[in-house]
Amino acid sequence: MDLEIVTPEKKVFEGEVQSVTFPGSDGSFQILNDHAALISSLKEGYVVYKDRNGEHEVEITGGMVEVLNNQVIVLAEGVL
Amino acid sequence: MANLKEVKNRINSVISTQQITKAMKMVSAAKLRRAQDNIIQLRPYAKKLNVLLQNLSSGSDMEDDNPYSVERPVEKVLLIVVTSDRGLCGAFNSNIHKAAIQQIEKNYKSINDRGDLTILPLGKKGFDFFRKRNYKIIDTYWDVFSDLSFASATEAAVYSMKSFLDGSFDRVEVIYNEFKNVATQILRVEQFLPILPIENDGPTKDIDYIFQPDKQSILIELIPKSLKVQLYKCILESNASEQGARMTAMDKATENAGELLKDLKLMYNRTRQAAITTELTEIVAGAQALG
């Protein structure tokens, strides 16, 4: 699946990932391939994604995530 | 005819002015590129946010209980006027001031006479202008351009949203210059609050999303975000326009200085030649008198 992390100031990440974990406002959750369509708000915390080169994390200050047809789009307020 | 030294001094001063305007043009060109980059960087975020809002609001009755789209009788108005911090950019700021005053005179005259019109200037020039003319202003946010970032730009947006919700203002408008190209700015007056209905372009997709925590609270969270982005975009556009306007103004100034210099040099040489001629005539006349 494709992950895209954007903030108003820049595009932080774009690429193919195997899994991604979000700091949801109701608690942390993970998205894997072929996840159902989902929109969730995010609180501040780490977005952890796994791609071919291993695990990476991005600290965000809250935002939104939309999952649709294996396209994961993170609208982050900002990244630290 | 002016004496040689005077002309020489003027030439020197014009040359140094020309050097300054040329340097300012270069600086603006570099800043313009950065300002344009900022706009481009914002685009993916703004676009995705819009798509998300459209997907969410399609086929829903959310419009009704969205507190940001409540239309109230317009009693109190806030005008956000985006200018620049620095001058020397042609008619950039005065166009904005003119447009703001025109907007007040045309649409909100009685409100202004009542003292219910407030201006929120962004940029030092607008702040000075409206303060001098005794408009009611909010002077907390004018300093956005000294350190332009999304966070600092959104403070003004947050303020206007808050005061719209608690009823301090019934309508918020933004006046700014939109960047078309280096030489052209388009003046825009846009309604910021209450929100105009979200336009749905293209067929509405009915996607069965899972919402976390729930649809209503997500929408309530998304709308302020999109408003912040909207204002941030206005500020970025204005910033790029400012640099463009300054570049054009300074280019023109450099050109004018060049022309002035040409005239002055001609005058200098004429004066010099006239002086030589006079001297020669004097010498010849003196020699003749002796011989």
Digitized pLDDT (tens) for each residue of chain B, 291 residues in all: 568 899 999 999 999 999 999 999 999 999 999 999 999 999 889 888 888 887 777 655 555 567 888 888 899 999 999 999 998 999 999 999 999 999 999 999 899 888 899 999 999 999 999 999 989 998 888 888 888 888 888 899 999 999 999 989 999 999 999 999 888 899 999 999 888 776 666 555 667 888 888 888 888 888 888 899 999 999 999 999 999 999 999 999 999 999 999 999 999 999 999 999 999 999 999 999 987
Whether residues B15 and B42 share a domain: the answer is: no
The CATH number that applies at residue B16 is 1.10.287
Q: Which two tokens stand for residue B275?
A: 């002086």
Whether residues B170 and B245 share a domain: the answer is: yes
Whether residues B9 and B106 share a domain: the answer is: no
Give pLDDT, residue B79. Answer: 93
Whether residues B107 and B53 share a domain: the answer is: yes
Considering the entire predicted model, what is its pTM?
0.86
Interchain contact, A41 vs B221, CB within 8 Å: yes
> Which of A7, A29, A39 comes nearest B209 by C-beta?
A39
> Which of B49, B212, B221 comes nearest A38 by C-beta?
B212
Q: Which two tokens stand for residue A25?
A: 């406002």
Whether residues B270 and B237 share a domain: the answer is: no
H/E element holding A61?
strand A54-68
Encode pLDDT of B226-243 as tens digits: 899 999 999 999 999 999
The answer to whether the CB of A56 falls within 8 A of the CB of A49 is: yes
Whether residues B155 and B267 share a domain: the answer is: no
Q: Any idea which residues of B carry the catalytic annotation?
A: 89
Contact of A80 with chain B, judged by CB distance below 8 Å, is answered with no
Closest CA in chain B for residue A61: B151
Give pLDDT, residue A16. Answer: 94
Q: If you average pLDDT over residues A32-46, what whole number do you get?
A: 92
Encode pLDDT of B126-168 as tens digits: 999 999 998 999 888 888 888 888 888 889 999 999 999 998 9
H/E element holding A46?
strand A38-51
Whether residues B10 and B87 share a domain: the answer is: no
Interchain contact, B209 vs A77, CB within 8 Å: no
Domain tally, chain A: 1
Domain range enclosing B96: 25-197+206-249
Between CA A75 and CA A41 the distance in angstroms is 9
Contact of A1 with chain B, judged by CB distance below 8 Å, is answered with no
3-class state of residue B189 by DSSP? strand
Between CA B236 and CA A75 the distance in angstroms is 19
Q: Which two tokens stand for residue B216?
A: 């209503």
Give pLDDT, residue B1. Answer: 56
> Which of B151, B218, B222 comes nearest A78 by C-beta?
B151
The answer to whether the CB of B219 falls within 8 A of the CB of B56 is: yes
Give pLDDT, residue A22. Answer: 94
Q: To which residue do tokens 């344009």 refer? A: B36
What count of Cα atoms within 13 Å lies in the side-chain half-sphere of residue B132? Answer: 7
Give pLDDT, residue A77. Answer: 87
Give pLDDT, residue B222. Answer: 86
Give pLDDT, residue B217. Answer: 83
Give pLDDT, residue B59. Answer: 55
Whether residues B38 and B11 share a domain: the answer is: no
- ipTM surpasses 0.90: no
Domain tally, chain B: 2
Give pLDDT, residue B171. Answer: 92
Domain range enclosing A39: 2-76
Window A:6-45, CB contacts with B under 8 Å: 6-11, 24-26, 29, 36-41
